[in-house]
Structure formats: C-alpha cells, structure tokens
Amino acid sequence: MAENPDYRLRVEGVSKSFGPVVAVRGVSFAVRAGAVHALVGENGAGKSTLVKMITGMLRPDEGAILLDGGECRFGTTIDARRRGITAVYQDPKLFPHLDVAENIFMGFQPRGASGLINERRMYAEARRILDELGVDVDPRSLLARRSVAEIQFVEIARAMIADMRLLILDEPTASLTPAEAGRLFEVVGSLKRRGVSILFISHRLEEVRRIADDVTVMRDGEHVITAPASSFSEESMVHYMVGRELKSFFVRQEPPPKGAVVLEIAGLSLPGVFKDVSFSVRAGEIVGLAGLVGAGRTEIAEAIFGIRPPSAGTVAIDGAKTRPASPGQMLRKGVAYIPENRDENGLVVELGISSNICLSVLDRIGKAGLIRRSTESGFARPFSEDFEIKAPSLHSAVASLSGGNRQKVVLAKWLATKPKVLILDEPTHGIDVGTKAQVHKRISELAAGGFPVLMISSDLPEVLAMCDRILVVASGSIVAEFSREEATQEKIMTAASRVSKAGARAGEAGDGR
C-alpha cells in the first residue's frame, strides 16, 4: 500500500467502563483508507468492547470515533451501517430458517413498484455478489445448511450491498479450515484494492503478519503500540501483548507435588470441538488449561464432567476408567465442576448461603427426608468460616453477596459433596483483587491438602502464579505443556496463538458432510 495521508477511521482517546471495571482506557489509533489493520491482544484486552463502540452497539464514555474525518455518534448498528461500517462476527448473526439471499438482503430488500420485494432482482443480485466473492453458494439454499465458512461469506456479502467503507472482521478465521481462510484473505485483498479499510481482529499472529498492513496491540484495555506490520515479528507482537502484572497479593509457594495420579484423561475427542486430549492431574497438583477464548478449554472441562459427552476417550479417577456420559455419573465418581457463569449454573441466588451450600448434599444431611434449618447452618458453618464468606448471616440471600463471596459459596457448595477432583472454569473472573487473592489462597490450600485441581483461566498471571503445570489448548488440541519454572506469559501466548498445521481444526478429518 502506498503511503496514504488520509485516515478512514480515527479512534481518539476512547474509554469505556462497565461499573467499576474499565474495559477500554484512553485508546487512540487510526486506520488508513484501503489498508488492512490488525487489532491484537490477549483475551480481555478490550478489543471486543472497542469494536462494539465503533459499530455503534456501545457508546464510549469518553473520546471520539471519526470516520473520514467526521465524528460518529451512532445510536444503533444501523446508523453505523449507513455510514459504511459493517462488522462480521465470529459467531454468525444470521437467520438460519431463511435462505442465503434473504440473509444478505434482510432489511434492505430490493422493492418493486408495488412495494413488495422484487425476488427476481434479489436473487440475481445475491448471485452476483457471491460470484464476485468467488463463493459457490446457491442463494436459494437455506442458511442452516451452509458451513461456517459459507455463512461468514454470506455476512461479508451482506456488508457488500451497502456502500462499505470499513469492514470489521472479528476473529473470522477461528472456525475456518486453512483453505477457507485462504479464500477469505483473497476476498479481503480484493476489497482492499477497492479502497475498503479492514479492521481485522485475530489471535493468529502468522495470519496477522500475512495480511495486515498495520498492527495495533492492546493490553488491559489500553493502547500499546500501532506500527506497520512489517516492523513486527511474531515474537515482538507477543511481547507487546503480554506483560500484564499479577494484580493479586497471592503467589503460590508449594513445591511441585509428588502425589499419585488421581485424574487421568486419555484420548478424549469430540469431532469438531476437540481432539485426542490426554493429560493427568496428581493429588495436590494444580494444572492450568490456558488458551484463547474459543480454543475449546471449557468444552474439554464440560466433557470431563459429562455435560458434553465425548465421542471417544476415557476419564479415569483413581484408576477407574469411564467414558463420561452425564453429569450425574461423573458427580458420583467424584468430579466437581464449577462453571464460569456461577450465577446461572451454580447457585440459587434467592436462597441463603447455608441452603446453597447444603443443596447438593440434602439427602445426606436430612432426616427422614426433612431438613431443619439448624442442621443446615450447622453443616454450612465450617465451610463458611473456612472460606471467610462475608455476610450478615448464614441465611443471607446469595443475591445480596458480592461476586467474590458468591464464588466462595459455589466453592463451598461443591466441596461439601466431598469430591475427589475439582475442575474450576475461570474461578476469579470478574471478582475484585482482594477476594481474588482469598480465592487463590483457598484453592492453593485445597491443593496442599491433597486435592487435584484442574483450572481453566484466561488470566495469564493467575495461571503462572497458581499452577504447577500449564497445558496450552489451541484449536481443540493440547499444543504445549510447561512446568511452573519454564512457563512465561510469552511462551504461553505464543503457543496459544500458533496454529499447528496438523490440528488446524479438531475433527476436521472425521467429520464428513
């Protein structure tokens, strides 16, 4: 791209907070006209929030967004679209029951003189745009029948019916095969030649190196650097992305445990989701599953717990092998899984603390099928004290507690079932620093007491501080393993962003049409 003095998009000092959490803080950068501009950063770096502000889904608290020099104050995504800004998201935002052409034109259908939709023109136009994109998709076929790649091209086709000036691609290749991604890049190239600017968000750094003209790195909601892509190596990009400091007072000190293997996963697979996952967790060991959002970590945990029964492989607990089929079965085997969204999946927020803690052990503490309130509190008290749950009383409704204290209740509830293995999904996501340290301390104590813990976390400093071993998951496979000594944020991030050619998409091979 020749030097082009005018900027298509300028983001100037933009900030956005959600309550006390600052998602984006004073970010400024500019996208050149007709350039591919990559936006990279770790999970939670604020990329999505920034995109939502550019497309009008969110309004910035501070700062301005300028398109071709004019300030944008979008009320809705439609306003943004009218100005030529469209976004293609990783998860399809389309209508599965309608056909391809209708999805492209919904809301903007060509009308005839009668005010009715001119179907012939609509299908012809759709055909033309799809041809132009070089995609062989029948405009009359049902969207639900199309593949993820085709659906993404439909979204791009949709963007093309408007006068497009800026196209935002939010992790477009996350669910594409290498060949499909190649097609997408060709399309990006031809759009670029037409003068469309592309803001490209990706975790795959070699892709960024391949197609981006400029790169902006974000970290912790802040702008780190914007520079021509050619001035970066993959290593230097990772270097700018990581380097967050551990905002917790707790660092685990225990030496690596030498206990017996309690949890052993062998060859766990689920076509299209994850493939051939094998690892083990020893008594007293904390094993971390690191990786990018969408890499398949939660899915693997859910498979181990039986929510998402795997199609192959086994889970052994204390040497007893099984194929997980249901959560009930795995609970009986001694697996406790604490999901990320604790309110939705783990708590009855209207009930009190003690009732929640006792919920999963009712049949054990009840007498003749009845439970006394005092029995409940008696049972719950030691847990509550162990976890230092801060509440007026044991009967206080969980709804009245802070996020951190709720998390403690969830942990207590699961520990009450006397599990053999504990799986934690983002255990400190969205809780304040002080409580975070308490939760870390408690998890660490549990491990010290001989508990095997499997912990999913996108918070790299947390992973480094807590885990004895770190497994990196990318595209549904474990791509790297580090001991606590060898692990660094750079190493983990590099492994997570690398897409091995072989395992580009788990289950790609076994999943025929």
Partner 1 sequence: MGDKGGATLARRFSNAVSRNTLRLRVFSVLFSLVALTIVFALTTPNFLNFQNLKVIAFNSALLTIVACAEALVVITRNLDVSVGSIIGLAGFVAAKFAAANPGSGALIVIVAVSIGLLLGLVNGLAVAYGKVPSIVATLGTLAIFRGVTYIVGSGIEVPSGNLPRWMIHGADATLLGMPLVVLLAVAVALILAFLGRGLPILRRVYAVGSNPGAAVFYGLRANRVVLFAFASCGALVGLAAFLYISRVGTITVNLGRDWEMTALAAVVLGGVSTTGGSGSFIGVLFGALILSTIDNGLVLARAPEFWRMFIQGVAIVGAIALDSGIERRIQAIFKHGKG
Residues that bind partner 1 (CB under 8 A): 76-78, 81, 92-98, 102, 106-107, 109, 111, 115-117, 119, 142-151, 175, 272, 510-513
- Give the nearer residue to partner 1 in terms of CB position, either 26 or 272: 272
Q: Find the shortest distance in angstroms from Cβ 184 to partner 1.
A: 14
Q: Which is nearer to partner 1, 241 or 273 (CB)?
A: 273
**Residue 402 CB, nearest approach to partner 1 (Å):** 28
Nearer to partner 1, 179 or 227 (CB): 179
Q: What string of DSSP letters covers 245-256? A: ---SS----PPP
Q: How far is the CB of 93 from partner 1 (least distance, A)?
A: 4
Q: Which is nearer to partner 1, 165 or 442 (CB)?
A: 165
Shortest separation between residue 85's beta carbon and partner 1, angstroms: 12
In the complex, the smallest distance separating the C-beta of residue 94 from partner 1, rounded to whole angstroms, is: 6
Kindly tell me which of 33 and 312 has the beta carbon lying closer to partner 1.
312
End-to-end CA distance of the chain: 40
Per-residue buried b or exposed e for 297-335, using 16+ beta carbons within 10 Å of the residue's own CB = bbbbbbbbbbbbbbeebbbbbeeeeeebeebeebbebbb
Closer to partner 1 by CB, 30 or 148: give it: 148
Residue number with CB closer to partner 1 (171 or 459)? 171
CA dist list (Å): 509 to 212, 275, 329, 373, 502: 30, 10, 30, 56, 10
What's the rounded Cα separation, in Å, for the pair 281 and 451?
10
Rounded CA-CA distance 358/413 in Å is 7
Nearer to partner 1, 2 or 116 (CB): 116
- How many CB atoms lie under 10 A from the CB of residue 336? 22
The Cα-based distances of 25 to 93, 114, 245, 438, 476 in angstroms read: 28, 51, 17, 27, 32
Both structure tokens of 239: 């270097």
Element housing 14 (H / E): strand 7-18
The least CB distance from residue 212 to partner 1, in Å, is 25
Query: CB of 273: closest distance to partner 1 in angstroms?
Result: 8
How far is the C-alpha of 349 from the C-alpha of 388, rounded, in Å?
Answer: 19
CB of 106 to partner 1, least distance (A): 5
Closer to partner 1 by Cβ: residue 115 or 319: 115
E strand residue ranges, 222-375 = 222-228, 261-270, 274-282, 286-291, 312-317, 320-322, 335-338
SS3 label, residue 352: strand
Q: Measured from the CB of residue 345, what is the shortest distance to partner 1 in angstroms?
A: 19
Distance CA 183, CA 179 (A): 7
